[in-house]
Amino acid sequence: MLHNNMTEEETMDPDYYNTDYPNQLCEKDKVVEVGSIIIPIFFALVVVLSCIGNILVLVILALYESLKSLTNVFILNLALSDLLFTFGLPFWTSYFVWGWTFGEIACKAVKFLFYVGFYSSVLFLTLMTIQRYMAVVHPLSDWEKCRGFSVAPFFVWILSGGISLLGSLNSTVITDSNTGSLYCEYSSVKIKSSIAYFQNAFFFFAFLIMGFCYGRMLRTITKSRTNKRHKTVRLIFCIALVFFIGWAPYNIVMFLKSLTDQNFYQFKDCPESIRLDYAYHACRMLAFTHCCLNPVFYVFIGVKFRNHLKVILQKIFKKKKKLDFSQARLAKNVSQGSMY
């Protein structure tokens, strides 16, 4: 049950809600107003771009690329992961405008999609990094014959789904006793904080592994006389770097909010608390863009992907040109026929 003096901003948060501000009521109407306008518009744009970009990635992989390549398999699964994450955003968009109107099951399902998208993305990026690490640092080894890599996507989805159930099953629809509004939140502050700390640790540990791998690869590449085989390394590095830039601030702010929830730290005045809320909104929007950015990197860094995209666009425009020509010719014939 919500505290009687909990503000609307604190309960409208799709991921977490804050505890009471100590000693006084901290008015956050402006934060709520800004969030309810900017965030839905931003999420709507991300959904459109993500669906277009990631569906194009899947089409190109299916039509032009071999799925016997581990890199392509991981890219395909990463696109699926981004799409799953994207499918939950329209619900959050509606949530910011009208509150939670989809019921208990949808609340748990959308939380599940959020965490599956996050954890699977981190795991697939880690696997892609390890794969490139083995190819660059240990090129003569028989690591590609290892059965573990070929079945890794199945384990990633099972592991991501299992971890995501922790957040999903502990989510519930809460009714505000004052306004009667419905909110999709965690059942307790303790569970919320535990999930936040686990997500922080998971994120940090994954990027320790990536940092080690890229450090060793950079050392090997600088000693190498050819850069041809390292184009894939640049692509994966850029994807991982942008993912880190997007999610690191979000995890930091989320950690600070969890400290205030657990009363480990309290802000001295209301403006500090409001600034943290604004930072949380900004970092969340930055983090959620990751699902639509990967296809952009495939186009600008991946030469093969860019060439395949050109072929698809040329076919589309040629068909459109032929259709326009046929329609013009038909219209001309009809017009000439009407004269007699």
335 within a domain of the structure (yes/no): no
pLDDT of residue 335: 54
333 within a domain of the structure (yes/no): no
303 within a domain of the structure (yes/no): yes
**Residues near 202 by beta carbon (within 8 Å), at least 6 away in sequence:** 119, 122, 163
**Residues near 261 by beta carbon (within 8 Å), at least 6 away in sequence:** 16, 18, 19, 189, 192, 193
128-139 residue pLDDT tens: 888 888 878 877
Model pTM score: 0.78
pLDDT of residue 11: 40
86 within a domain of the structure (yes/no): yes
93 within a domain of the structure (yes/no): yes
170 within a domain of the structure (yes/no): yes
Mean pLDDT of the chain: 77
pLDDT above 50: residue 332: yes
Asked if residues 135 and 74 have their Cβ atoms less than 8 Å apart, the reply is no
Q: Which of 20-29, 50-59, 171-180, 285-294 has the lowest mean pLDDT?
A: 20-29
What CATH code is carried by the domain that includes residue 43? 1.20.1070.10
First to last CA, the chain: 80
pLDDT above 70: residue 100: yes
Q: Which domain does 183 fall in, by range?
A: 8-321
pLDDT of residue 84: 92
Phi, psi of 172 (to 5 degrees): -155, 160
240-283 residue pLDDT tens: 888 888 888 998 988 888 877 666 666 656 777 778 888 888 89
Region 295-313 average pLDDT: 73
Number of domains in the chain: 1
328 within a domain of the structure (yes/no): no
